[in-house]
Structure 1
Amino acid sequence: MKFSQFPSNVKLRIICGFFDHMASMSVMPFMVLYIADELGKVTSGILLSINVVFGLICGLCGGYFADRFSRKRLLVTGQLLFAILMILMTIFIHPAINMPWVVAFLYMLTAVSGAMIFPALEALIIDSTTEEMRKSVYVTSYWANNLATAFGTAIGGLFYKDHRVLLFALIVIIMLINTAVFQRYLIDPTVNKVRKVVEAHWIRDLLSSYYVALKDTRFVVFTMAAVFIFSSEFALTNYIGVRLHDEFKPVELFGIHVDGVRMMSLMLIENTVLVVTVTFLIAKITEKRNQVAVLLLGTLMYTSGYGLAHHLTTWYLLMLVVLMATIGELMQTPIISVFQAKLMPEDKRASYIAFSSLGYSGAGLVASSGLIVGTVLNSMMMSIYVITLGLIGMLLLYLSIHSNIFKQKIPS
């Protein structure tokens, strides 16, 4: 299915999401380095772990409210809040002021805006598409997000150190423009939806809403698998990025001085450039293959590649393992997204999406805790540790999509 055939909400999501993601990726991955430099590795690891837990709680609340209220209103409010937080971060990260504890606190508060944006936006997309078009939508959206990541990380790697305030200011401008566009053009399919009358206190109703997802054993195991699998890539801007910042020996590549920070940027750029150039090729090659086999092979390549990146410090070997991991990522991601959408009941999509964020939040928690674990384990042991987690994730993923041990049926 072509982009021109997508519903208007989907087009808006992809176009605005491109600029939004590009702006965020130009600075957000480097915030971990900033906090680690200013406050120390252990302190930053603890703060980032707390941030993940806080973000998870906010995400669960965001999913609940997206099912109960206008998803468009929640999305627009979240975008505006994020812009305000970035304005404050721009002020307090300025060299003349430089208050790292305040910046870290504001960085943690971005979890609130993210919790308002993500469940509402993803539920809106599912609301606006049919099952037949979703794989095309997910592949295109994934491609656009990674193109945005390539541009964002390239800009961040080149200008973060010397033009940090300018980067933050650009993010604010883009977020404000996106907010205005969403407010003007986004169509909310939940406007005429009959609202469920809730007599219980909202906290009790929230817990009961997620209890439904928690009873869905197949979905819970699927979510647990995501925790172990995605933690390997999330470590790139946590443990791997900090280790390269400290241990990578600078090299000259094509006349450019590459230190640890820029090496991390190059790895992110390689990942996203590969996604941009070969996403549709990989999708074409694998579309008629056994999807379970494609998913498991892709997951193995993905986790092994990023697992090895925990130990390697040679630039061309790092680029090679990122190549392997990215191909694996392209094989697994569309299949995971389609399967996840099929598991979600129509009337609880936002809640299920927010619950599924446990996978990403848990992965972020595992990745950020790697900064603490890495003070005890050496890089080789960290590599083995991450690959082992990936293998556990593969097993759980297989059980959730290809076994009859759960009472819930396997989606066709």
Structure 2
Amino acid sequence: MKEFMALNNNLKLRMLTVFLAVMLSSSIGPNMTIYYAKYFGAGLTGVLLIIVSVMGFIAGLYGGHLADVHGRKPIMVLGTILTLAGFALAAVMNSPLGHFPLPTFFAFLIAQVGANLSSPAEEAMVIDVSTPQNRRYVYALIYWIINISVMIGAALGGWFFRDYLFELLIGMGAVTIINLIIIYFFMSESFTPDHAGSGSVWQAVRGYWQVMSDHRYDWYLIGMVLSGMVTNQLGFYLAVHLGADFHTVHLFGLEIYGQRMLSGITLINTAIIIPFMSLFTRLTSKWSLRRAYTIGMGLQTLGFALTCMLNTLWPIVICAVILTIGEMVVVPPSQTLRADLMDPAKIGTYSGAFSAVYPLASVLAGATVTLSTAIGQYGMAILFLLLGGCSIAAVIHVLNLPKAAWNQKDPD
């Protein structure tokens, strides 16, 4: 508690806004695929989801540039207003007056664009007001809060989305208003640009070209994409593997089949992270970034690789524990390293560039499902080990490269 109270006020408020924002996204987002499939069919739903992903990706890139040109707070306010407008329109389109699927899609597209537009500015503000000394603690705490909010949001969505969508959207709009009030009235600006800049698309492209000339950051992004190809597999190959190969069992009167085992891994993950994240943060606080990333990513990779070759309950439970321990070890140092690598004058743009990692890793992770038909489960296990090992090698390479002038003191 003493360490928390010593944090910058923006960081304390950011913990609250993260909790509310992630609760919003996790209660609504995962259920929209079901909503679209109901009204548009599976084929068109896939196209709509691609449109949302592409528009969100573009908004993240542009928002990162704008955060460096205009400061963090205005972009956070603009993004939150767009999110609120999207939820408000969605509520009207799913009210007692009737259900209108196509306007609802555009409403959620607006909300997603708003969220992605503000995300790099929010990330940049965290870096602005944290220090190298407290950054691991800050990222560990944010990660812990995210896990709690995902659990609550998923429960709200599962309980209310189908039968009480209008009421749920009204509630989500109210929560967004609370976030907007916190950002506008209580957060202070953390970055004032020291030069005149332009918000033009061309200036944004030039800014990202400059970021891509930073070879340390390029290698870091490569390492994170490789890591994401492994850690995103619960939604890709492992879902297919467990659905097809898991041996159904009965535990305490409950039938555990493949889909439930997949959900069980997520539940185990959350159930361990919430009580033990702070403990692991303290235990690894003195570790170098090199050691923490190597051990953490190594454990995660091992857990996912072994799960590829298993089809029974308790061995998979053990693997879930192993990969969760690895996750708790690797997340704070990997995020700390990302902050250390950024030029303080271009943190928004660097954060925007990082926003490309998740969609790219997801696309490549999806491609491994097709590859699995050729190489089988043991081939997939070997592939995961190779991807995880290459991710570790990329991060170690980053730490071995000469440091730029702005991060001469970043820890290894």
Q: Shorter-chain TM-score category?
A: 0.7 to 0.9
Contact 1:402/1:410 (<8 A) preserved: no
Alpha-carbon separation, structure 1, partners of 2:38 and 2:311: 20
Alpha-carbon separation, structure 1, partners of 2:307 and 2:35: 21
**Gapped runs of 5+ residues in structure 1?**
none
Q: 1:313 to 1:212 in 2, by over 3 A?
A: same
Matches within 5 A, 1:343-354: 343-354=341-352
Q: 1:82 to 1:43 in 2, by over 3 A?
A: same
Contact 1:374/1:382 (<8 A) preserved: yes
For residues 27-46 of structure 1, give each alpha carbon's deviation from its aligned partner in whole angstroms, at most 9, with x where no partner exists: 32344566578777776666
Contact 1:74/1:116 (<8 A) preserved: yes
Matches within 5 A, 1:39-50: 48=49
- TM-score, length-scaled by structure 2: 0.82
Structure 2: which amino acid aligns with 1:361? Answer: P
Structure 1: which amino acid aligns with 2:400? Answer: H
1:397 to 395, 398, 412: 395
SS at match of 1:2: helix
Alpha-carbon separation, structure 2, partners of 1:28 and 1:257: 28
Q: 1:50 to 1:23 in 2, by over 3 A?
A: closer
2:216 paired with 1:218:
yes
Matches within 5 A, 1:284-363: 284-309=282-307, 314-363=312-361
For residues 126-145 of structure 1, give each alpha carbon's deviation from its aligned partner in whole angstroms, at most 9, with x where no partner exists: 22223322222112112211
1:203 to 201, 204, 207: 201
For residues 98-157 of structure 1, give each alpha carbon's deviation from its aligned partner in whole angstroms, at most 9, with x where no partner exists: 74x766665555442122221111111222223322222112112211222233334445
**Greater shift in the superposed pair: 89-98 or 341-350:** 89-98
- TM-score, length-scaled by structure 1: 0.82
**Gapped runs of 5+ residues in structure 2?**
none
**How big is the shift at 1:247?**
7.8
Contact 1:311/1:379 (<8 A) preserved: yes
Alpha-carbon separation, structure 2, partners of 1:33 and 1:134: 38
2:132 paired with 1:131:
yes
Alpha-carbon separation, structure 2, partners of 1:44 and 1:366: 20
Matches within 5 A, 1:223-302: 223-237=221-235, 240=238, 254=252, 263-302=261-300
Alpha-carbon separation, structure 2, partners of 1:386 and 1:309: 11
**Greater shift in the superposed pair: 292-301 or 250-259:** 250-259
Contact 2:37/2:45 (<8 A) preserved: yes
- After superposition, the CA RMSD in angstroms is 3.8
**How big is the shift at 1:288?**
3.4
2:75 paired with 1:77:
no
How many residues were matched structurally? Answer: 408
Matches within 5 A, 1:59-208: 59-89=60-90, 97=99, 99=101, 107-157=108-158, 166-190=167-191, 193=192, 196-198=195-197, 202-208=200-206
**How big is the shift at 1:215?**
0.7
Structure 2: which amino acid aligns with 1:328? Answer: G
Q: Which residue of 1 aligns with 2:25?
A: 24
**How big is the shift at 1:392?**
2.4
SS at match of 1:187: coil
Alpha-carbon separation, structure 2, partners of 1:160 and 1:315: 31
Alpha-carbon separation, structure 1, partners of 2:54 and 2:38: 22
Contact 2:23/2:149 (<8 A) preserved: yes
SS at match of 2:355: helix
Identity of aligned residues (%): 26
**Greater shift in the superposed pair: 373-382 or 328-337:** 373-382
